[in-house]
Structure 1
Amino acid sequence: MTLDKYKKMTSEEFKNLTKKEFNEYLKLRSEDFPRHYRRIKEITIDTVLTPEQAIEIAKKYHQDHELDGTVNEQIENLFFDEAYTFKIDPEDRDNDDIRPAWRVTVDLQPNRFLFEDYTLIVSDRDKVVMGMLDSNGHPVSEGNEFTDEEVEYIMGDETLEDDEK
């Protein structure tokens, strides 16, 4: 049995699973999870990009978009996702855009607003950054950042220079 059976279920059908069916689902999910966080030596499929190329693509994107932090260039900290979901088609889950991707971490300096590192998602097939994940693993969409005015309002009378002390 595979997870595909559960992907085709409606929300209502999923809520009505028996305890046995739900435990089966949890078992299949836990078996499936490791393929999304493979270390370099654990990759089981042929890749288009080398780890070094994935890091270089992430660095260029990071620089071009003037993002905070520093791209982590240590290959041992790189993850590979054999089946990253770039887009979900709620009408037909078989049409989901799923393909291999590299997860490149960006390390941040400690400050008041950006508490943890984030991740750039590099599509192995397309050789470009296709998205970003926050520190909790949630996709970051455009317009999800604070403007200078919002930062100024949040900080009140304090200034960004206080972070540097």
Structure 2
Amino acid sequence: MSLDEYKKMTDEEFKSLTDEEFEEYLKLKKEDFPRHYRKLGEITVDTVLTPEEAIEIAKKYHQEKELDGVVNEQIEDLFFDEAYTFKVDIINRDNDDIRPAWRVTVDLPPNPFLFEDYTLIVSDRDEAVMGMLDVNGHPVSDGNEFTDEDIEYIMSDEDTENYNE
């Protein structure tokens, strides 16, 4: 079975895999992982941008948005993702928006209140910064702002009532 076939499985089908099938899945995942963190010499697809252009796009975005830190300009620290997922279509995973992207690191000065570095995602095809990843590799929303629903939930005292009992 291919990795794409595993991705098309429902949760129930995936949970019912035998130990051998699951081990095969893990092997395929492990083989697939490096294509998301390729160094320059390992890239196997044609790129639109050069490494220098990707860094310049990241620097311009960083400056325009007045973000913290300094864009790492070391080409040897640059990663390329041959299949970065920009958007997931929950209903039909075949419609996920997957395309090549550059991962440009932004270094933050040591600070007890801020996490370490974060990453700007530069779409190779669009020649633009299309997102950010935090130090743990999780997507960062624009400004990481709370929605009205988030604030309402946080401010509600429903959870605190349970602690007082």
TM-score by length of 2: 0.85
CA distance in 1, matches of 2:105, 2:132: 10
TM-score by length of 1: 0.85
Find out whether 1:45 has 2:63 as its counterpart.
no
Match of 1:127 in 2: 127
After superposition, where does 1:1-165 map in structure 2 within 5 Å?
1-144=1-144
% same residue: 81
Gaps of 5+ in 1: 147-165
Question: How far apart are 1:112 and its partner, in Å?
Answer: 2.2
SS in 1 for 2:99: strand
RMSD: 1.2
Gaps of 5+ in 2: 147-165
Amino acid at match of 1:131: G
CA distance in 2, matches of 1:12, 1:59: 45
Greater mean alpha carbon deviation, residues 60-69 or residues 5-14: 5-14
CA distance in 2, matches of 1:15, 1:124: 36
CA distance in 1, matches of 2:40, 2:98: 20
SS in 1 for 2:142: coil
Q: How many equivalent pairs are there? A: 146
CA distance in 2, matches of 1:143, 1:122: 18
CA distance in 1, matches of 2:140, 2:20: 35
Question: How far apart are 1:145 and its partner, in Å?
Answer: 5.8
